[in-house]
């Protein structure tokens, strides 16, 4: 576990690699990364991390048994630059197999280019077809419209809304709890065991199948 294996894809003309984070780039996560309010406002961080915070995180992550973390790297001019991360955490293999996903692109100049949406699709492919998970859960603060859109586009669906989970930028905010269900058999039938999925769940299944189709054609898993 700990760090996820390399996956590569192209999006908006950019070459992206999902690959383990290295100790050398931890400073990037701090600055320009998570010392900026614009990056952390919707991920439940009130304080700014320093390099020691990230070093502790790195050591913990390296030996974590229940998470897989990928750095999001931009490949250019023969080198690579770290711009964010993508994660599957709290991986459980009980009666159902599931995990909680999270993402961050800390270089804002790369927002809105479809990188998170594509990374979600690659991660979903790995979660469903390599880890055999039934579901991936994700929580989004409602004001975080970009995140919500990227998740929905890759097959996530609203399960329920929790009111007033955080206070950000002068007001209380609601949190949408989403899930992405494995659309493949036997996982789909195991999840519903004879119950009829709702229309929203059937539509989300189609979006997830589309996401997996995109990932099969566009994601290289060397």
Ligand X SMILES: CC(C)(COP(=O)(O)OP(=O)(O)OC[C@H]1O[C@@H](n2cnc3c(N)ncnc32)[C@H](O)[C@@H]1OP(=O)(O)O)[C@@H](O)C(=O)NCCC(=O)NCCS
Q: Give the pairing type, strands 135-141 and 171-181.
A: antiparallel
Tell whether residue 20 is a contact of ligand X (CB under 6 A).
Answer: no
Tell whether residue 214 is a contact of ligand X (CB under 6 A).
Answer: no
Q: Give the pairing type, strands 135-141 and 97-105.
A: parallel
Tell whether residue 117 is a contact of ligand X (CB under 6 A).
Answer: yes
Handedness of CA 38, 87, 129, 215 (dihedral sign): positive
Residues 30, 116, 122, 178: which binds ligand X (CB under 6 A)?
Answer: 116
Q: Which is nearer to ligand X, 101 or 182 (CB)?
A: 101
Shortest distance (Å) from residue 63 CB to ligand X: 25
Residues 82, 115, 122, 166: which binds ligand X (CB under 6 A)?
Answer: 115
Asked whether 1 and 20 are in contact (CB, 8 A), the reply is no
Determine the Cα–Cα distance for residues 192 and 198; give it in Å rounded to an integer. 10
Determine the Cα–Cα distance for residues 19 and 3; give it in Å rounded to an integer. 8
Tell whether residue 101 is a contact of ligand X (CB under 6 A).
Answer: no
The residue behind tokens 């859960």 is 137
Handedness of CA 58, 62, 68, 71 (dihedral sign): positive
Q: What is the token pair recorded at 89?
A: 């955490």
Tell whether residue 154 is a contact of ligand X (CB under 6 A).
Answer: no
- Region from 50-58, 144-152, 181-189, 213-221 binding ligand X, contact rule CB under 6 A: 144-152
Q: What is the token pair recorded at 23?
A: 């100790």
Tell whether residue 44 is a contact of ligand X (CB under 6 A).
Answer: no
- Interacting positions 69-98 with ligand X (CB under 6 A): 84
Residues 99, 100, 140, 181: which binds ligand X (CB under 6 A)?
Answer: 140
Tell whether residue 113 is a contact of ligand X (CB under 6 A).
Answer: yes
Residue ranges binding ligand X (CB under 6 A)? 39, 42-43, 84, 103-105, 111-117, 140, 144-147, 149-150
């Amino acid at each position: 576990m700990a760090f996820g294996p390399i996956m590569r894809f192209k999006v908006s003309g950019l070459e992206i690699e999902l690959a383990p984070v290295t100790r050398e780039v931890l400073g990037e996560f701090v600055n320009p990364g998570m010392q900026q309010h614009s990056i952390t406002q919707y991920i439940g961080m009130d304080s700014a991390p320093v390099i020691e915070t990230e070093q502790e995180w790195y050591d913990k992550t390296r030996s974590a048994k229940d998470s897989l973390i990928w750095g999001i790297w931009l490949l250019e001019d023969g080198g690579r630059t770290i711009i964010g991360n993508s994660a599957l955490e709290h991986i459980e293999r009980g009666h159902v197999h599931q995990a909680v996903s999270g993402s961050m692109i800390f270089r804002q100049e790369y927002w809105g280019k479809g990188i998170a949406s594509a990374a979600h699709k690659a991660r979903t492919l790995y979660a469903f077809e390599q880890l055999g998970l039934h579901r991936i859960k994700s929580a989004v603060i409602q004001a975080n419209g970009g995140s919500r859109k990227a998740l929905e586009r890759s097959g996530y669906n609203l399960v329920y809304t929790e009111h007033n989970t955080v206070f950000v930028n002068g007001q209380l905010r609601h949190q949408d709890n989403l899930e992405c269900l494995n659309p493949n058999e036997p996982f789909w039938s195991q999840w519903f065991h004879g119950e009829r999925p709702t229309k929203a769940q059937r539509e989300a299944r189609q979006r997830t199948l589309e996401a997996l189709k995109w990932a099969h054609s566009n994601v290289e898993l060397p």
